Structure 1
Amino acid sequence: MTAFIGLLKKDLSLIRFWYMVWLAFMILGIIAVYGISKGVSEPSILVPYLVTMGSFHVFLAPIALLYMLNIEGKTQLWLYNPQNSTKLLLSKICSATVIQLIAQVIISLFAVIVMKILQDNGLIEHFSDFLPFKQGFYMQLGIFGVSMYMSIWVIFLWTVYHSLGKYPSIRNFRWLAVVLVWLAYNLFEALLAKTKVIQNQLFYFSVNVDIAPQMNYETKEGWKILYADASVPVTAIVLYVILSVIFFLLASWLLDRKVEV
Protein backbone atom coordinates (compact mmCIF):
# COMPACT_ATOMS: atom_id res chain seq x y z
CA MET A 1 0.00 0.00 0.00
CA THR A 2 2.84 2.37 0.89
CA ALA A 3 4.50 1.69 -2.47
CA PHE A 4 1.25 2.43 -4.32
CA ILE A 5 0.80 5.73 -2.45
CA GLY A 6 4.35 6.60 -3.49
CA LEU A 7 3.44 5.92 -7.13
CA LEU A 8 0.31 8.04 -6.77
CA LYS A 9 2.29 10.98 -5.36
CA LYS A 10 4.84 10.69 -8.16
CA ASP A 11 2.14 10.70 -10.84
CA LEU A 12 0.40 13.69 -9.27
CA SER A 13 3.69 15.56 -9.19
CA LEU A 14 4.09 14.95 -12.95
CA ILE A 15 0.92 16.83 -13.79
CA ARG A 16 0.80 19.29 -10.89
CA PHE A 17 2.16 22.26 -12.86
CA TRP A 18 -0.06 21.86 -15.93
CA TYR A 19 -3.07 21.10 -13.77
CA MET A 20 -2.54 24.36 -11.87
CA VAL A 21 -2.30 26.14 -15.24
CA TRP A 22 -5.58 24.45 -16.28
CA LEU A 23 -7.31 25.59 -13.08
CA ALA A 24 -5.87 29.09 -13.42
CA PHE A 25 -7.26 29.48 -16.94
CA MET A 26 -10.62 28.10 -15.82
CA ILE A 27 -10.85 30.55 -12.93
CA LEU A 28 -9.64 33.47 -15.08
CA GLY A 29 -12.31 32.53 -17.61
CA ILE A 30 -14.94 32.62 -14.88
CA ILE A 31 -13.76 36.07 -13.78
CA ALA A 32 -13.68 37.33 -17.38
CA VAL A 33 -17.18 36.11 -18.21
CA TYR A 34 -18.50 37.53 -14.96
CA GLY A 35 -16.93 40.89 -15.84
CA ILE A 36 -18.56 40.80 -19.27
CA SER A 37 -21.93 39.94 -17.75
CA LYS A 38 -21.64 42.94 -15.42
CA GLY A 39 -20.53 45.20 -18.25
CA VAL A 40 -23.48 44.39 -20.49
CA SER A 41 -25.91 43.89 -17.59
CA GLU A 42 -26.71 40.36 -18.77
CA PRO A 43 -26.07 37.86 -15.92
CA SER A 44 -27.45 34.96 -17.97
CA ILE A 45 -24.26 35.04 -20.09
CA LEU A 46 -22.70 32.97 -17.32
CA VAL A 47 -24.97 30.03 -18.16
CA PRO A 48 -23.58 28.97 -21.58
CA TYR A 49 -20.04 29.37 -20.22
CA LEU A 50 -20.91 27.09 -17.29
CA VAL A 51 -22.38 24.42 -19.57
CA THR A 52 -19.47 24.63 -22.04
CA MET A 53 -16.85 24.45 -19.30
CA GLY A 54 -18.57 21.48 -17.65
CA SER A 55 -18.87 19.56 -20.92
CA PHE A 56 -15.26 20.26 -21.89
CA HIS A 57 -14.04 18.58 -18.70
CA VAL A 58 -14.78 15.11 -20.07
CA PHE A 59 -11.36 15.49 -21.72
CA LEU A 60 -9.44 16.48 -18.57
CA ALA A 61 -8.58 13.01 -17.22
CA PRO A 62 -7.74 11.51 -20.65
CA ILE A 63 -5.41 14.42 -21.47
CA ALA A 64 -3.74 14.17 -18.06
CA LEU A 65 -3.26 10.41 -18.51
CA LEU A 66 -1.76 10.82 -21.97
CA TYR A 67 0.64 13.45 -20.60
CA MET A 68 1.75 11.15 -17.75
CA LEU A 69 2.19 8.19 -20.08
CA ASN A 70 4.27 10.22 -22.52
CA ILE A 71 6.53 11.42 -19.69
CA GLU A 72 7.01 7.83 -18.55
CA GLY A 73 7.62 6.82 -22.15
CA LYS A 74 10.43 9.32 -22.59
CA THR A 75 12.14 8.42 -19.32
CA GLN A 76 11.36 4.66 -19.48
CA LEU A 77 11.15 4.66 -15.68
CA TRP A 78 8.70 1.76 -15.48
CA LEU A 79 11.19 -0.58 -17.15
CA TYR A 80 13.21 -0.43 -13.94
CA ASN A 81 10.31 -0.17 -11.49
CA PRO A 82 9.78 -3.23 -9.25
CA GLN A 83 6.00 -2.66 -9.22
CA ASN A 84 3.91 -4.63 -11.68
CA SER A 85 2.23 -2.95 -14.63
CA THR A 86 -1.23 -3.14 -13.08
CA LYS A 87 -0.15 -0.99 -10.14
CA LEU A 88 1.75 1.40 -12.41
CA LEU A 89 -1.28 2.01 -14.62
CA LEU A 90 -3.74 1.99 -11.74
CA SER A 91 -1.79 4.76 -9.99
CA LYS A 92 -2.12 6.89 -13.12
CA ILE A 93 -5.86 6.26 -13.32
CA CYS A 94 -6.20 7.20 -9.64
CA SER A 95 -4.19 10.39 -10.23
CA ALA A 96 -6.42 11.31 -13.17
CA THR A 97 -9.49 10.54 -11.05
CA VAL A 98 -8.30 12.86 -8.28
CA ILE A 99 -7.77 15.84 -10.58
CA GLN A 100 -11.02 15.11 -12.42
CA LEU A 101 -13.02 15.15 -9.18
CA ILE A 102 -11.35 18.35 -7.95
CA ALA A 103 -12.15 20.10 -11.22
CA GLN A 104 -15.77 18.94 -11.14
CA VAL A 105 -16.15 20.14 -7.55
CA ILE A 106 -14.94 23.58 -8.67
CA ILE A 107 -17.46 23.52 -11.52
CA SER A 108 -20.20 22.60 -9.06
CA LEU A 109 -19.25 25.53 -6.83
CA PHE A 110 -19.30 27.81 -9.87
CA ALA A 111 -22.78 26.50 -10.72
CA VAL A 112 -23.96 27.46 -7.23
CA ILE A 113 -22.49 30.96 -7.70
CA VAL A 114 -24.20 31.29 -11.09
CA MET A 115 -27.54 30.27 -9.61
CA LYS A 116 -27.09 32.77 -6.78
CA ILE A 117 -26.38 35.55 -9.29
CA LEU A 118 -29.43 34.60 -11.35
CA GLN A 119 -31.53 34.54 -8.19
CA ASP A 120 -30.30 37.95 -7.04
CA ASN A 121 -31.18 39.39 -10.45
CA GLY A 122 -34.67 37.95 -10.35
CA LEU A 123 -34.15 35.51 -13.23
CA ILE A 124 -34.97 32.51 -11.05
CA GLU A 125 -36.85 32.21 -7.78
CA HIS A 126 -35.23 29.03 -6.49
CA PHE A 127 -32.05 27.15 -7.38
CA SER A 128 -34.20 24.22 -8.47
CA ASP A 129 -35.75 26.44 -11.18
CA PHE A 130 -32.39 26.37 -12.96
CA LEU A 131 -30.56 23.19 -11.91
CA PRO A 132 -32.18 20.81 -9.41
CA PHE A 133 -29.71 18.88 -7.27
CA LYS A 134 -30.64 15.53 -8.78
CA GLN A 135 -30.09 16.70 -12.35
CA GLY A 136 -26.84 18.39 -11.39
CA PHE A 137 -25.56 15.22 -9.71
CA TYR A 138 -26.49 13.02 -12.67
CA MET A 139 -24.82 15.42 -15.11
CA GLN A 140 -21.61 15.45 -13.08
CA LEU A 141 -21.75 11.67 -12.76
CA GLY A 142 -22.17 11.37 -16.52
CA ILE A 143 -19.20 13.67 -17.18
CA PHE A 144 -17.07 11.65 -14.76
CA GLY A 145 -18.12 8.30 -16.24
CA VAL A 146 -17.44 9.33 -19.83
CA SER A 147 -14.09 10.83 -18.82
CA MET A 148 -12.98 7.63 -17.09
CA TYR A 149 -14.10 5.45 -20.01
CA MET A 150 -12.11 7.63 -22.41
CA SER A 151 -9.13 7.41 -20.05
CA ILE A 152 -9.15 3.61 -20.23
CA TRP A 153 -9.16 3.82 -24.02
CA VAL A 154 -6.22 6.25 -23.91
CA ILE A 155 -4.22 3.76 -21.83
CA PHE A 156 -5.14 0.82 -24.06
CA LEU A 157 -4.42 2.56 -27.38
CA TRP A 158 -1.19 4.04 -26.01
CA THR A 159 0.11 0.61 -25.04
CA VAL A 160 -0.97 -0.83 -28.41
CA TYR A 161 0.89 1.96 -30.20
CA HIS A 162 4.14 1.50 -28.27
CA SER A 163 4.02 -2.30 -28.24
CA LEU A 164 4.17 -2.21 -32.05
CA GLY A 165 7.47 -0.34 -31.81
CA LYS A 166 9.23 -3.71 -31.52
CA TYR A 167 8.50 -4.41 -35.17
CA PRO A 168 10.66 -2.26 -37.50
CA SER A 169 8.56 -3.05 -40.57
CA ILE A 170 5.49 -1.30 -39.15
CA ARG A 171 7.10 1.07 -36.67
CA ASN A 172 6.40 4.13 -38.83
CA PHE A 173 2.77 3.10 -39.36
CA ARG A 174 1.81 2.37 -35.75
CA TRP A 175 -0.61 5.28 -35.69
CA LEU A 176 -2.55 3.63 -38.52
CA ALA A 177 -2.85 0.42 -36.50
CA VAL A 178 -4.22 2.39 -33.55
CA VAL A 179 -6.79 4.10 -35.80
CA LEU A 180 -7.81 0.75 -37.27
CA VAL A 181 -8.25 -0.76 -33.80
CA TRP A 182 -10.47 2.16 -32.78
CA LEU A 183 -12.51 2.05 -36.01
CA ALA A 184 -12.87 -1.73 -35.91
CA TYR A 185 -14.17 -1.65 -32.34
CA ASN A 186 -16.68 1.11 -33.06
CA LEU A 187 -17.84 -0.61 -36.25
CA PHE A 188 -18.31 -3.89 -34.39
CA GLU A 189 -20.16 -2.09 -31.59
CA ALA A 190 -22.45 -0.31 -34.07
CA LEU A 191 -23.27 -3.53 -35.92
CA LEU A 192 -23.84 -5.40 -32.67
CA ALA A 193 -26.15 -2.70 -31.35
CA LYS A 194 -28.38 -3.11 -34.42
CA THR A 195 -29.05 -6.78 -33.78
CA LYS A 196 -32.43 -7.63 -32.31
CA VAL A 197 -30.93 -9.75 -29.54
CA ILE A 198 -28.85 -6.86 -28.25
CA GLN A 199 -31.68 -4.36 -28.63
CA ASN A 200 -34.09 -6.60 -26.76
CA GLN A 201 -31.75 -7.77 -24.01
CA LEU A 202 -29.03 -5.13 -23.54
CA PHE A 203 -31.41 -2.17 -23.58
CA TYR A 204 -34.34 -3.92 -21.97
CA PHE A 205 -33.52 -2.90 -18.42
CA SER A 206 -33.36 0.90 -18.40
CA VAL A 207 -34.51 3.81 -16.30
CA ASN A 208 -35.98 7.12 -17.40
CA VAL A 209 -34.24 10.13 -15.89
CA ASP A 210 -34.86 13.76 -16.83
CA ILE A 211 -31.22 14.56 -17.42
CA ALA A 212 -31.24 15.46 -21.11
CA PRO A 213 -30.54 19.22 -20.89
CA GLN A 214 -31.26 21.69 -23.66
CA MET A 215 -30.21 25.33 -23.70
CA ASN A 216 -32.98 27.82 -24.36
CA TYR A 217 -32.73 31.61 -24.55
CA GLU A 218 -35.71 33.82 -23.81
CA THR A 219 -35.51 37.57 -24.33
CA LYS A 220 -36.95 38.53 -20.94
CA GLU A 221 -35.59 35.71 -18.81
CA GLY A 222 -32.23 34.98 -20.49
CA TRP A 223 -30.69 31.52 -20.70
CA LYS A 224 -32.50 28.55 -19.25
CA ILE A 225 -31.74 24.86 -19.06
CA LEU A 226 -34.70 22.68 -19.94
CA TYR A 227 -34.83 18.98 -19.12
CA ALA A 228 -36.36 16.06 -20.96
CA ASP A 229 -36.62 12.39 -20.08
CA ALA A 230 -33.67 10.27 -21.20
CA SER A 231 -33.66 6.48 -21.20
CA VAL A 232 -30.51 5.23 -19.45
CA PRO A 233 -29.75 1.54 -20.23
CA VAL A 234 -28.39 0.14 -16.98
CA THR A 235 -27.23 -3.11 -18.60
CA ALA A 236 -25.22 -1.20 -21.20
CA ILE A 237 -23.49 0.80 -18.48
CA VAL A 238 -22.52 -2.40 -16.68
CA LEU A 239 -21.20 -3.79 -19.97
CA TYR A 240 -19.04 -0.68 -20.53
CA VAL A 241 -17.63 -1.07 -17.02
CA ILE A 242 -16.73 -4.69 -17.80
CA LEU A 243 -15.16 -3.65 -21.12
CA SER A 244 -13.14 -1.00 -19.31
CA VAL A 245 -11.73 -3.64 -16.96
CA ILE A 246 -10.88 -5.89 -19.92
CA PHE A 247 -9.11 -3.08 -21.82
CA PHE A 248 -7.21 -2.13 -18.68
CA LEU A 249 -6.04 -5.72 -18.16
CA LEU A 250 -5.01 -5.93 -21.82
CA ALA A 251 -3.01 -2.72 -21.44
CA SER A 252 -1.34 -4.12 -18.32
CA TRP A 253 -0.48 -7.32 -20.19
CA LEU A 254 1.09 -5.35 -23.04
CA LEU A 255 3.08 -3.23 -20.61
CA ASP A 256 4.32 -6.38 -18.85
CA ARG A 257 5.93 -7.36 -22.11
CA LYS A 258 8.29 -4.39 -21.68
CA VAL A 259 6.79 -1.94 -24.12
CA GLU A 260 9.52 -0.24 -26.09
CA VAL A 261 9.21 3.51 -26.38
Structure 2
Amino acid sequence: MNAFKGLLWKDFKTSKVWFYGWIGIIFLIYIIGMVIGNFVNEPIIVQIFIIMIGVFHFAFLPGIVLSMLRLEGKTQLWLHSPYSGFILLLPKLIIAIIYSTASLLLVDLLGVITLAVFPEDSLFSYWPIKEGILFNLGVTVVGLYFSGWTIFLWTFYHSLSKFPSIKNIRWIFVAGFIIVYQSVVAFLMSIKWVEKYLFNAFTVEVSSGVFLSIGSNEANAGFEPEMIQLPLLPFVFEGMIMIIVFIMSCWLLDRKVEV
Protein backbone atom coordinates (compact mmCIF):
# COMPACT_ATOMS: atom_id res chain seq x y z
CA MET A 1 0.00 0.00 0.00
CA ASN A 2 2.85 2.39 0.85
CA ALA A 3 4.45 1.62 -2.50
CA PHE A 4 1.18 2.35 -4.30
CA LYS A 5 0.80 5.66 -2.46
CA GLY A 6 4.37 6.49 -3.38
CA LEU A 7 3.68 5.83 -7.06
CA LEU A 8 0.54 7.99 -6.87
CA TRP A 9 2.52 10.83 -5.37
CA LYS A 10 5.29 10.43 -7.95
CA ASP A 11 2.82 10.53 -10.83
CA PHE A 12 1.17 13.60 -9.35
CA LYS A 13 4.48 15.46 -9.01
CA THR A 14 5.62 14.57 -12.53
CA SER A 15 2.33 15.52 -14.19
CA LYS A 16 1.10 18.52 -12.20
CA VAL A 17 2.79 20.97 -14.58
CA TRP A 18 0.68 19.59 -17.44
CA PHE A 19 -2.45 19.94 -15.31
CA TYR A 20 -1.66 23.52 -14.29
CA GLY A 21 -0.98 24.34 -17.92
CA TRP A 22 -4.37 22.88 -18.90
CA ILE A 23 -6.10 24.96 -16.21
CA GLY A 24 -4.38 28.02 -17.66
CA ILE A 25 -5.68 27.10 -21.12
CA ILE A 26 -9.22 26.80 -19.72
CA PHE A 27 -9.07 30.29 -18.24
CA LEU A 28 -7.54 31.64 -21.45
CA ILE A 29 -10.33 30.18 -23.62
CA TYR A 30 -12.92 31.45 -21.14
CA ILE A 31 -11.45 34.96 -21.24
CA ILE A 32 -11.40 34.87 -25.04
CA GLY A 33 -15.07 33.91 -24.99
CA MET A 34 -15.85 36.78 -22.61
CA VAL A 35 -13.98 39.26 -24.81
CA ILE A 36 -15.73 38.09 -27.99
CA GLY A 37 -19.12 37.98 -26.22
CA ASN A 38 -18.72 41.54 -24.96
CA PHE A 39 -17.40 42.76 -28.30
CA VAL A 40 -20.43 41.48 -30.27
CA ASN A 41 -22.78 42.05 -27.30
CA GLU A 42 -23.80 38.35 -27.20
CA PRO A 43 -23.21 36.81 -23.72
CA ILE A 44 -24.42 33.47 -25.09
CA ILE A 45 -21.07 33.12 -26.85
CA VAL A 46 -19.41 32.72 -23.45
CA GLN A 47 -21.57 29.66 -22.73
CA ILE A 48 -20.74 28.24 -26.16
CA PHE A 49 -17.05 28.56 -25.30
CA ILE A 50 -17.67 26.78 -21.98
CA ILE A 51 -19.38 23.90 -23.78
CA MET A 52 -16.45 23.80 -26.20
CA ILE A 53 -14.01 23.52 -23.29
CA GLY A 54 -16.07 20.64 -21.89
CA VAL A 55 -15.92 18.82 -25.22
CA PHE A 56 -12.13 19.18 -25.22
CA HIS A 57 -12.05 16.91 -22.16
CA PHE A 58 -12.66 13.91 -24.42
CA ALA A 59 -8.99 14.25 -25.34
CA PHE A 60 -7.66 15.62 -22.05
CA LEU A 61 -7.83 12.37 -20.06
CA PRO A 62 -5.98 10.19 -22.61
CA GLY A 63 -3.66 13.12 -23.31
CA ILE A 64 -2.53 13.40 -19.68
CA VAL A 65 -2.10 9.61 -19.52
CA LEU A 66 0.08 9.68 -22.63
CA SER A 67 2.18 12.53 -21.24
CA MET A 68 2.86 10.50 -18.08
CA LEU A 69 3.73 7.40 -20.10
CA ARG A 70 6.13 9.34 -22.31
CA LEU A 71 7.83 10.91 -19.32
CA GLU A 72 8.10 7.52 -17.61
CA GLY A 73 9.58 6.05 -20.74
CA LYS A 74 12.40 8.58 -20.83
CA THR A 75 13.68 7.46 -17.42
CA GLN A 76 13.86 3.70 -18.29
CA LEU A 77 13.00 2.97 -14.62
CA TRP A 78 10.29 0.46 -15.54
CA LEU A 79 12.93 -1.94 -16.84
CA HIS A 80 14.24 -2.34 -13.28
CA SER A 81 11.05 -1.83 -11.27
CA PRO A 82 10.06 -4.63 -8.86
CA TYR A 83 6.36 -3.73 -9.20
CA SER A 84 3.86 -5.33 -11.54
CA GLY A 85 2.49 -3.60 -14.59
CA PHE A 86 -0.86 -3.20 -12.84
CA ILE A 87 0.71 -1.31 -9.93
CA LEU A 88 2.67 0.88 -12.34
CA LEU A 89 -0.24 1.74 -14.65
CA LEU A 90 -3.16 2.10 -12.23
CA PRO A 91 -1.81 5.22 -10.44
CA LYS A 92 -1.57 7.00 -13.78
CA LEU A 93 -5.22 6.29 -14.55
CA ILE A 94 -6.26 7.43 -11.07
CA ILE A 95 -4.29 10.68 -11.30
CA ALA A 96 -5.68 11.33 -14.80
CA ILE A 97 -9.26 10.77 -13.54
CA ILE A 98 -8.67 13.15 -10.63
CA TYR A 99 -7.29 15.79 -12.97
CA SER A 100 -10.17 15.36 -15.42
CA THR A 101 -12.78 15.51 -12.65
CA ALA A 102 -11.24 18.62 -11.11
CA SER A 103 -11.02 20.25 -14.53
CA LEU A 104 -14.65 19.45 -15.36
CA LEU A 105 -15.77 20.83 -11.99
CA LEU A 106 -13.91 24.04 -12.80
CA VAL A 107 -15.73 24.25 -16.13
CA ASP A 108 -19.01 23.66 -14.27
CA LEU A 109 -18.14 26.49 -11.89
CA LEU A 110 -17.41 28.84 -14.79
CA GLY A 111 -20.76 27.84 -16.28
CA VAL A 112 -22.57 28.58 -13.01
CA ILE A 113 -20.86 31.97 -12.74
CA THR A 114 -21.80 32.79 -16.33
CA LEU A 115 -25.43 31.79 -15.78
CA ALA A 116 -25.56 33.85 -12.60
CA VAL A 117 -24.06 36.94 -14.28
CA PHE A 118 -26.17 36.67 -17.45
CA PRO A 119 -29.44 35.04 -16.35
CA GLU A 120 -31.41 36.65 -19.15
CA ASP A 121 -28.96 35.65 -21.87
CA SER A 122 -28.64 31.89 -21.47
CA LEU A 123 -28.80 28.86 -23.72
CA PHE A 124 -30.93 27.26 -21.03
CA SER A 125 -34.15 28.57 -19.53
CA TYR A 126 -33.32 26.70 -16.30
CA TRP A 127 -30.30 25.56 -14.31
CA PRO A 128 -29.02 22.55 -16.33
CA ILE A 129 -27.85 20.49 -13.34
CA LYS A 130 -28.97 17.14 -14.73
CA GLU A 131 -27.45 17.88 -18.12
CA GLY A 132 -24.16 18.91 -16.52
CA ILE A 133 -23.90 15.72 -14.48
CA LEU A 134 -24.70 13.52 -17.48
CA PHE A 135 -22.24 15.44 -19.64
CA ASN A 136 -19.44 15.07 -17.08
CA LEU A 137 -20.10 11.34 -16.71
CA GLY A 138 -20.21 10.87 -20.47
CA VAL A 139 -16.96 12.78 -21.02
CA THR A 140 -15.23 10.79 -18.26
CA VAL A 141 -16.38 7.42 -19.60
CA VAL A 142 -15.32 8.26 -23.16
CA GLY A 143 -12.03 9.65 -21.85
CA LEU A 144 -11.38 6.40 -19.95
CA TYR A 145 -12.17 4.42 -23.09
CA PHE A 146 -9.58 6.30 -25.14
CA SER A 147 -7.13 6.20 -22.22
CA GLY A 148 -7.33 2.40 -22.14
CA TRP A 149 -6.52 2.19 -25.83
CA THR A 150 -3.77 4.78 -25.43
CA ILE A 151 -2.08 2.68 -22.73
CA PHE A 152 -2.38 -0.52 -24.73
CA LEU A 153 -1.11 0.91 -28.02
CA TRP A 154 1.78 2.59 -26.19
CA THR A 155 2.86 -0.64 -24.47
CA PHE A 156 2.29 -2.68 -27.64
CA TYR A 157 4.40 -0.27 -29.69
CA HIS A 158 7.30 -0.33 -27.25
CA SER A 159 7.09 -4.09 -26.66
CA LEU A 160 7.98 -4.55 -30.34
CA SER A 161 11.36 -2.92 -29.67
CA LYS A 162 12.55 -6.33 -28.49
CA PHE A 163 12.66 -7.38 -32.13
CA PRO A 164 15.48 -5.42 -33.81
CA SER A 165 14.39 -6.40 -37.33
CA ILE A 166 11.07 -4.53 -37.00
CA LYS A 167 12.02 -1.85 -34.46
CA ASN A 168 12.05 0.92 -37.05
CA ILE A 169 8.69 -0.07 -38.57
CA ARG A 170 6.75 -0.77 -35.38
CA TRP A 171 4.12 1.78 -36.31
CA ILE A 172 3.07 -0.46 -39.23
CA PHE A 173 2.22 -3.27 -36.81
CA VAL A 174 0.29 -0.87 -34.57
CA ALA A 175 -1.67 0.44 -37.54
CA GLY A 176 -2.23 -3.13 -38.71
CA PHE A 177 -3.60 -4.12 -35.31
CA ILE A 178 -6.04 -1.18 -35.36
CA ILE A 179 -7.22 -2.11 -38.86
CA VAL A 180 -7.66 -5.79 -37.96
CA TYR A 181 -9.53 -4.97 -34.75
CA GLN A 182 -11.89 -2.56 -36.50
CA SER A 183 -12.46 -5.12 -39.27
CA VAL A 184 -13.32 -7.87 -36.78
CA VAL A 185 -15.76 -5.58 -34.95
CA ALA A 186 -17.35 -4.52 -38.26
CA PHE A 187 -17.70 -8.18 -39.28
CA LEU A 188 -19.37 -9.10 -35.99
CA MET A 189 -21.74 -6.15 -36.30
CA SER A 190 -22.68 -7.34 -39.80
CA ILE A 191 -24.04 -10.62 -38.42
CA LYS A 192 -27.77 -10.14 -38.06
CA TRP A 193 -28.32 -12.07 -34.85
CA VAL A 194 -25.35 -10.38 -33.16
CA GLU A 195 -26.60 -6.93 -34.13
CA LYS A 196 -30.15 -7.79 -33.05
CA TYR A 197 -29.04 -9.19 -29.69
CA LEU A 198 -26.64 -6.36 -28.88
CA PHE A 199 -29.00 -3.54 -29.79
CA ASN A 200 -32.38 -4.96 -28.78
CA ALA A 201 -31.85 -7.24 -25.77
CA PHE A 202 -31.40 -4.66 -23.00
CA THR A 203 -32.37 -1.03 -23.53
CA VAL A 204 -33.28 2.05 -21.51
CA GLU A 205 -35.23 5.12 -22.52
CA VAL A 206 -33.22 8.31 -22.99
CA SER A 207 -33.76 11.62 -24.70
CA SER A 208 -33.23 11.55 -28.44
CA GLY A 209 -30.65 14.34 -28.17
CA VAL A 210 -29.91 17.92 -27.29
CA PHE A 211 -31.72 20.79 -28.92
CA LEU A 212 -30.31 24.26 -29.46
CA SER A 213 -32.37 27.11 -30.82
CA ILE A 214 -31.15 30.67 -31.25
CA GLY A 215 -33.39 33.44 -32.49
CA SER A 216 -33.26 37.20 -32.68
CA ASN A 217 -34.79 37.65 -29.25
CA GLU A 218 -34.22 34.39 -27.41
CA ALA A 219 -32.15 31.24 -27.18
CA ASN A 220 -32.93 27.92 -25.58
CA ALA A 221 -31.32 24.56 -25.11
CA GLY A 222 -31.94 21.27 -23.37
CA PHE A 223 -32.85 17.64 -23.97
CA GLU A 224 -35.37 16.70 -26.65
CA PRO A 225 -38.66 15.49 -25.13
CA GLU A 226 -38.81 12.56 -27.56
CA MET A 227 -37.44 9.38 -25.96
CA ILE A 228 -35.55 6.61 -27.74
CA GLN A 229 -34.32 3.17 -26.72
CA LEU A 230 -30.60 3.16 -25.84
CA PRO A 231 -28.98 -0.32 -25.99
CA LEU A 232 -26.83 -1.21 -22.98
CA LEU A 233 -25.00 -4.31 -24.21
CA PRO A 234 -22.67 -2.40 -26.59
CA PHE A 235 -21.42 -0.42 -23.58
CA VAL A 236 -20.96 -3.66 -21.61
CA PHE A 237 -19.07 -5.12 -24.57
CA GLU A 238 -16.76 -2.09 -24.83
CA GLY A 239 -16.25 -2.18 -21.05
CA MET A 240 -15.13 -5.82 -21.26
CA ILE A 241 -12.81 -4.94 -24.13
CA MET A 242 -11.28 -2.18 -22.01
CA ILE A 243 -10.65 -4.59 -19.13
CA ILE A 244 -9.01 -7.07 -21.50
CA VAL A 245 -6.94 -4.32 -23.13
CA PHE A 246 -5.75 -3.06 -19.73
CA ILE A 247 -4.82 -6.59 -18.61
CA MET A 248 -2.86 -7.08 -21.83
CA SER A 249 -1.09 -3.76 -21.25
CA CYS A 250 -0.08 -4.88 -17.75
CA TRP A 251 1.13 -8.20 -19.14
CA LEU A 252 3.24 -6.48 -21.79
CA LEU A 253 4.71 -4.14 -19.19
CA ASP A 254 5.52 -7.07 -16.92
CA ARG A 255 7.71 -8.39 -19.73
CA LYS A 256 9.94 -5.33 -19.17
CA VAL A 257 8.95 -3.10 -22.04
CA GLU A 258 11.94 -1.13 -23.30
CA VAL A 259 10.96 2.41 -24.25
How do 1:201-220 and structure 2 match up within 5 A? 201-204=197-200, 205-210=202-207, 212-220=209-217
Report what 1:21 is aligned to.
21
Report what 1:138 is aligned to.
134
Change (3 A) 1:236 1:122: closer
Counting aligned pairs with the same residue, the percent is 35
Q: Which amino acid aligns with 1:188?
A: V
User: Is the counterpart of residue 176 in structure 1 residue 142 in structure 2?
Assistant: no
Give the counterpart of 2:150 among 151, 154, 162: 154
How do 1:97-116 and structure 2 match up within 5 A? 97-116=97-116
Report what 1:95 is aligned to.
95
Report what 1:221 is aligned to.
218
Report what 1:39 is aligned to.
39
Q: 5+ unaligned residues in a row in structure 2: which ranges? A: none
SS in 2 for 1:15: helix
Q: CA separation in 2, counterparts of 1:118 and 1:211? A: 28
Per the TM alignment, residue 214 of structure 1 is displaced from its structure 2 partner at its CA by: 4.2
Per the TM alignment, residue 207 of structure 1 is displaced from its structure 2 partner at its CA by: 1.2
- Report the count of equivalent residues: 256
Q: CA separation in 2, counterparts of 1:199 and 1:103? A: 37
Q: Identify which range, 204-213 or 58-67, moves more after superposition.
A: 204-213
SS in 2 for 1:63: helix
Q: CA separation in 2, counterparts of 1:162 and 1:230? A: 43
User: Is the counterpart of residue 9 in structure 1 residue 9 in structure 2?
Assistant: yes
Change (3 A) 1:194 1:118: farther
Report what 1:73 is aligned to.
73
Q: CA separation in 1, counterparts of 2:249 and 2:32? A: 42
Q: Say if 2:61 and 2:143, in contact at 8 Å, map to a contact too.
A: yes
Report what 1:241 is aligned to.
239
Report what 2:183 is aligned to.
187
Q: CA separation in 2, counterparts of 1:234 and 1:158? A: 29
Per the TM alignment, residue 211 of structure 1 is displaced from its structure 2 partner at its CA by: 6.5
Change (3 A) 1:206 1:75: same
SS in 2 for 1:203: helix
Q: Say if 1:161 and 1:178, in contact at 8 Å, map to a contact too.
A: yes
Q: 5+ unaligned residues in a row in structure 1: which ranges? A: none
Report what 1:50 is aligned to.
50
Q: CA separation in 1, counterparts of 2:31 and 2:66? A: 29
SS in 2 for 1:252: helix
User: Is the counterpart of residue 257 in structure 1 residue 249 in structure 2?
Assistant: no
Per the TM alignment, residue 125 of structure 1 is displaced from its structure 2 partner at its CA by: 4.7
Per the TM alignment, residue 136 of structure 1 is displaced from its structure 2 partner at its CA by: 2.1
Q: Say if 1:207 and 1:231, in contact at 8 Å, map to a contact too.
A: yes
Q: Say if 1:7 and 1:88, in contact at 8 Å, map to a contact too.
A: yes
Task: Give the alignment's TM-score, normalised by structure 1.
Answer: 0.91
Change (3 A) 1:139 1:123: closer
